[in-house]
Chain A
C-alpha cells in the first residue's frame, strides 16, 4: 500500500522544486490518472538516488475540458517524455513543456484513450489508410509579445527544411523493432534527433483495466520480451503483496534462477546485436549460439521460448523438470569459457574500441535525471540495481557484485552487460544446488480481489528497473495499471546523446542503450 501525498496544484511546482532540493533526484515513474468525478491527475513516484528513500506525490485538476499541470521537464529531464505520454493518454497539458506533442498515437487521433469516459467506437477513430503527417512545429505556450512570435516559431521548429532529413525506421535493421528516428544531418553528422514511437502501441495498460488480475499477467511477457520473466515476476509480486500472499521458498528460488537466466539471455542478445550493428557478424552468431541453449532450457521448463507465461499469482505455472539443475549447471560452466571468446574476437578488438570509447557519453547526473536505469545507468556509475536497492525474492541472500563503470560511453555499456553475465552465473550457481522441496504454487481463490488502494512493486529487468503500479478500487479488475517502461527513459537519453555524432555512431549508441520497442510502446 502506497502512501501518496496530495499536493494542491497552485503550490505544486514549488513543492516539487523543494523535493528536488532535498535530494529526490530520480523520477521513477509518472502515472497519469483519471479519478472520474475527482478529476484528472498525475502521480509522481520519486526516489533519492543516494539514500533510496522514496516519496510519492499526486496532483489533481478538476477541469476535464482543459486540464493543465505545470511541467517538471526542467527539474527531471525524463519528465519531458513522460509528460508527452500522459498528454497522449489523458490530455493533460503540461504548461511550459517545450515539446507538447503526442508520443504514441497519431497526431490526428481524437480523444484520450486512458480516460474513463473515452469512446473507443470505430466511427470516431477509424482505421486510417493515409500516412500520418509530421507535425513540423511544437505547440507553444505563453508568448509574451506578438513581436517574438515569428522568432519563436523559428526556434521551435522541430526540423528545418534546409536540412538533410532522413528517416531511420520504422522498418530499419538497426532500430531493433519499429521505431523511427527523424534525423537532420549535416554531412554525416547528426544535428537533431526526433524520435517517433508508437508503431507497436497496443494499449496494454488500457486492456488491463478490463481484465481480471490473472488475465493481466499475459500482457507482461509481451512488453519487453527479453525480460519476460522479470516483468511477470514484478506483476505477480505486486498482486501478491496487495493480497498479503506469501509464496514458498521453492517458488522464490525458481523465480530468481529464471530471472537470472533471462538476464543472461537478454545480455547475450545485446552483445550479439551490438556486434551485428557494428558489422561483426561472426560475433553475432557466437552470442546467439549460447543464447539458444538458454532458450532450450526455458522451453523445457516453461513450454515457451520467448513468451513463457511462467509466473502466476502465488507461484509458477509448472514445476521445474528433474534435469533442470544439471542443464543449467552445464550451461553456466560452458558460458564462462565462451565469454573469453567474446572478449578475444570482439570486445578487445581495436576497431571496436575506437568506435565505442568516448562515443555517446552519458554523465552520472544525466543518467539519474533521465532515470536511465539498468546497464546504461550502471555504465555511467549510478548504482541503480533494484536487486541491491530494494532486494526482493532471494537477492538479499545471495552474494553478487553490482557492476559499475565510470565512463558512461558505449564501450562501458557493453562491458557492464558482459560482466553482469558473470554475476548472474554466480547467483545461479549459489542457488541451483539448494532448491528446497515444497509446493511450486500456492492455491489462490478463482476470483482475486485486491483491497482498495495503490500498490507498487519493482524488479530489476534485463535493461533497467521495471515497475508495476496498481490502483485498486476493490473490484476483480484493476482500476489502473501502469508499467514503468525500462526503454522509454533510454529513448529520451538517446535523443540527447546522439546529437553531434555521426550516423554510424547513432547506430552504436542505439545498440549500446539496448532498448526493446514493445516495452517502450506498450
Chain B
C-alpha cells in the first residue's frame, strides 16, 4: 500500500526549504486547490458519462455513441456547449443573490468533496471533527438552492426552492442520525481514523444489523439530499419545468448540474468511507494469500470501486422509480426514517456498550 502522506510531507519540506514559511503555505494552498478542483471536474465528467451509459443500459438503449469512441467525448462536447451559451440577465431578478446562488451550491459541494479520503494520506481536510465538518459543509448547499429559487423571481422556481428547502433540511436529520450511528461504533469523528479502524473489518459487517439499517436509511436520505429521483421534486420537470434552476442558463445551470452529480459522488464516497471501509481492502480472516493479494490493489482503486458501486445503486433507483409527492416525501422522513434512525442509534449504542459488535 502506498502511503501518500509521506509524499505530501516530502513536497511540504521541499517547499519550506526553498521558500519562506508563509509563501510556502500559500503555494501549498494553491496547489491543493488546483488539485481538488481538477479532481472534482474529472470525477464530474466520469459521473455524467456513467449516468448516461447506465441510464441507457436500464432503458435498453445505447447511450451516446457518436462523439468519440463509444461516446467518450460526449461530456466534453456538452461542457463546451454549456460554456459558450449566453448567460441571460433576468429582468426583475435579485441580481446579487441570483449570481451568488450557484457558487454557494458548488462551494458546499467542493468543500465536502475535499474531505473524502481517496487513499492513505490522499485527503485535503482531515481533522478531529471531520465527520461533523462534512455534515456542516454539505448542509449549506440548500442555501444556494433556496436563494436560486427566490432570486429568479419565477413562481415555478419558487415552488421548487420551497420544496427543496423542506425536503433537504428534513432528510439531513436522518442522514446525520445514520452518520452518528457509525460514529458511536467507531468512537471517533476523524475520517482517516475511521477508515484506519476498518482494516480489521468493514463497519457494515462489524456493526451488523444496526449498521445495515443505517446504511439503507443513509442511502435513501442521501438520494433525497442530492435531489435525484424518486426525490427530484425540487426540479420535477413535468410539474415545474426545471424547478429552482428554471431561469439559469450557461454555466449558472452548469454549476447546479455538476454539483448535483458530484453530490451523488460525495454521498456515495461518504457511504463507502463510513460503511464499506474507505480505501481499506477486503480481508477474509484466515486466508493469508487472498489478503495479501488484496493488498496489492491500490487504496484509491478500492475507494473508487466502492464509491462507484454505491453510485450505481443510486442510479439504479433513479432510473427505476417514479417520483414521490411532497407530502409523501415528508411523511417518509418524519414518520418512518427519523424514528427508525433514532431507534437504530439506540440499538447501536447498546451494542457498543455491551460489546455485541463483531
Of the candidates B155, B156, B232, B326, the one whose C-beta lies within 8 Å of that of A279 is B232
Contact A278 to B155, CB < 8 A, known contacts A346-B322, A504-B233: no
Q: What number of residue pairs across chains A and B have CB atoms under 8 A from each other? A: 82
B239 in contact with A507 (CB, 8 Å): yes
B236 in contact with A355 (CB, 8 Å): no
Question: Nearest chain B CB to A15's CB is how many angstroms away?
Answer: 46
Which segment, of A38-46, A51-59, A196-204, A281-289, faces chain B?
Answer: A281-289
Contact A276 to B238, CB < 8 A, known contacts A164-B155, A166-B156: yes
Dominant secondary structure at the A interface: helix
Contact A504 to B326, CB < 8 A, known contacts A166-B155, A166-B156: yes
Of the candidates B156, B239, B322, the one whose C-beta lies within 8 Å of that of A280 is B322
Of the candidates B159, B238, B324, B325, the one whose C-beta lies within 8 Å of that of A174 is B238
A75 at the interface (CB under 8 A from B): no
Return the chain A residue nearest B156 by Cβ.
A166
A502 at the interface (CB under 8 A from B): yes
Of the candidates B58, B155, B320, B325, the one whose C-beta lies within 8 Å of that of A502 is B325
Task: For A289, list chain B residues within 8 Å (CB).
Answer: 60
Given the complex of chains A and B, what is the CA–CA distance between A346 and B237 in angstroms? 19
B288 at the interface (CB under 8 A from A): no
A285 in contact with B61 (CB, 8 Å): yes
Given the complex of chains A and B, what is the CA–CA distance between A166 and B241 in angstroms? 13
A139 at the interface (CB under 8 A from B): no
Return the chain A residue nearest B237 by Cβ.
A173
A143 at the interface (CB under 8 A from B): no
Question: Nearest chain B CB to A167's CB is how many angstroms away?
Answer: 8
A278 in contact with B60 (CB, 8 Å): no
B328 at the interface (CB under 8 A from A): yes
Interface string of A377-412 (1 = CB under 8 A from B): 000000000000000000000000000000000000
A155 at the interface (CB under 8 A from B): no
Given the complex of chains A and B, what is the CA–CA distance between A173 and B237 in angstroms? 7
Given the complex of chains A and B, what is the CA–CA distance between A29 and B34 in angstroms? 71
Question: Nearest chain A CB to B102's CB is how many angstroms away?
Answer: 23
B323 in contact with A281 (CB, 8 Å): no
Given the complex of chains A and B, what is the CA–CA distance between A506 and B59 in angstroms? 27
Given the complex of chains A and B, what is the CA–CA distance between A346 and B55 in angstroms? 16
Task: For A306, list chain B residues within 8 Å (CB).
Answer: none
Interface string of A264-303 (1 = CB under 8 A from B): 0000000000011111111101100100000000000000
Interface string of A330-354 (1 = CB under 8 A from B): 0000000000000001100101101
Question: Nearest chain A CB to B39's CB is how many angstroms away?
Answer: 30
B241 in contact with A282 (CB, 8 Å): no
Cβ < 8 Å to A, chain B residues 186-241: 229-230, 232-233, 236-241
Cβ < 8 Å to B, chain A residues 460-518: 502-507
Task: For A355, list chain B residues within 8 Å (CB).
Answer: 322-325, 328
A351 in contact with B322 (CB, 8 Å): yes
A504 in contact with B322 (CB, 8 Å): no
Given the complex of chains A and B, what is the CA–CA distance between A173 and B239 in angstroms? 8
- Of A164, A166, A281, A345, the most chain B CB neighbours within 10 A belong to A281
Contact A351 to B230, CB < 8 A, known contacts A188-B326, A278-B322, A285-B60: yes
Interface string of B301-345 (1 = CB under 8 A from A): 000000000000000000111111111100000000000000000
Cβ < 8 Å to A, chain B residues 35-74: 55, 58-61
Task: For A345, list chain B residues within 8 Å (CB).
Answer: 320
Task: For A188, list chain B residues within 8 Å (CB).
Answer: 159, 163, 326-327
A211 at the interface (CB under 8 A from B): no
Interface residues on A, range: 20 to 34
Given the complex of chains A and B, what is the CA–CA distance between A345 and B316 in angstroms? 12
B61 in contact with A279 (CB, 8 Å): no
A351 in contact with B233 (CB, 8 Å): no
- Of B229, B232, B325, the most chain A CB neighbours within 10 A belong to B325
Question: Nearest chain B CB to A383's CB is how many angstroms away?
Answer: 30
B321 in contact with A351 (CB, 8 Å): yes
A277 in contact with B238 (CB, 8 Å): yes
Given the complex of chains A and B, what is the CA–CA distance between A345 and B155 in angstroms? 33
A327 at the interface (CB under 8 A from B): no
B320 in contact with A282 (CB, 8 Å): yes
Return the chain A residue nearest B323 by Cβ.
A279
Question: Nearest chain B CB to A376's CB is how many angstroms away?
Answer: 20
Given the complex of chains A and B, what is the CA–CA distance between A351 and B331 in angstroms? 13
Cβ < 8 Å to B, chain A residues 101-155: none
Given the complex of chains A and B, what is the CA–CA distance between A278 and B232 in angstroms? 11
B230 in contact with A281 (CB, 8 Å): no
Task: For B324, list chain A residues within 8 Å (CB).
Answer: 351, 354-355
Given the complex of chains A and B, what is the CA–CA distance between A278 and B324 in angstroms? 8
Task: For A286, list chain B residues within 8 Å (CB).
Answer: 59-60
A172 at the interface (CB under 8 A from B): yes
Return the chain A residue nearest B59 by Cβ.
A285
Return the chain A residue nearest B327 by Cβ.
A502
Return the chain B residue nearest A280 by Cβ.
B322
Question: Nearest chain B CB to A358's CB is how many angstroms away?
Answer: 12
B60 in contact with A349 (CB, 8 Å): no
Return the chain B residue nearest A506 by Cβ.
B239
B321 in contact with A354 (CB, 8 Å): no
B322 in contact with A173 (CB, 8 Å): no
Task: For B230, list chain A residues within 8 Å (CB).
Answer: 279, 351
Question: Nearest chain A CB to B233's CB is how many angstroms away?
Answer: 7
Given the complex of chains A and B, what is the CA–CA distance between A285 and B63 in angstroms? 13
B321 in contact with A174 (CB, 8 Å): no
A279 in contact with B229 (CB, 8 Å): yes
A352 in contact with B237 (CB, 8 Å): no
Question: Nearest chain A CB to B271's CB is how many angstroms away?
Answer: 22
Task: For A280, list chain B residues within 8 Å (CB).
Answer: 320-323
Contact A352 to B156, CB < 8 A, known contacts A173-B237, A174-B239: no
Contact A504 to B241, CB < 8 A, known contacts A282-B58, A282-B319, A285-B59: no
Given the complex of chains A and B, what is the CA–CA distance between A188 and B240 in angstroms? 12
Task: For B321, list chain A residues within 8 Å (CB).
Answer: 279-280, 349, 351
Contact A504 to B239, CB < 8 A, known contacts A279-B229, A289-B60, A351-B321: yes
Given the complex of chains A and B, what is the CA–CA distance between A354 and B327 in angstroms? 11
Given the complex of chains A and B, what is the CA–CA distance between A506 and B58 in angstroms? 28
Return the chain B residue nearest A511 by Cβ.
B238
Task: For B156, list chain A residues within 8 Å (CB).
Answer: 166
Task: For B236, list chain A residues within 8 Å (CB).
Answer: 279, 504
Given the complex of chains A and B, what is the CA–CA distance between A276 and B322 in angstroms? 8
Of the candidates B240, B241, B323, the one whose C-beta lies within 8 Å of that of A278 is B323
Question: Nearest chain A CB to B232's CB is how many angstroms away?
Answer: 6
B319 in contact with A281 (CB, 8 Å): yes
Task: For A351, list chain B residues within 8 Å (CB).
Answer: 230, 321-324, 328
Task: For B239, list chain A residues within 8 Å (CB).
Answer: 174, 503-504, 506-507
Question: Nearest chain A CB to B55's CB is how many angstroms away?
Answer: 8
Question: Nearest chain B CB to A214's CB is how many angstroms away?
Answer: 41
Question: Nearest chain A CB to B164's CB is how many angstroms away?
Answer: 13
Question: Nearest chain A CB to B282's CB is how many angstroms away?
Answer: 32
Return the chain B residue nearest A345 by Cβ.
B320
B322 in contact with A502 (CB, 8 Å): no
Given the complex of chains A and B, what is the CA–CA distance between A260 and B324 in angstroms? 34
Given the complex of chains A and B, what is the CA–CA distance between A505 and B328 in angstroms? 12
Task: For A502, list chain B residues within 8 Å (CB).
Answer: 325-327
Given the complex of chains A and B, what is the CA–CA distance between A477 and B233 in angstroms? 53
Of the candidates A164, A172, A281, A283, the one whose C-beta lies within 8 Å of that of B241 is A172
Of all A-B residue pairs in the complex, the 6 with the closest CB atoms, nearest first, are A279-B323, A280-B322, A278-B322, A285-B59, A174-B238, A277-B238
Given contacts A282-B59, A355-B323, 4 further A-B contacts (CB under 8 A): A164-B155, A285-B60, A349-B321, A503-B239
A-B contact pairs, 11 of them (CB 8 A): A172-B241, A173-B237, A188-B159, A276-B238, A277-B238, A281-B55, A282-B320, A286-B60, A351-B328, A502-B327, A504-B236
Interface residues, chain A, CB within 8 Å of chain B? 164, 166, 172-174, 188, 275-283, 285-286, 289, 345-346, 349, 351-352, 354-355, 502-507
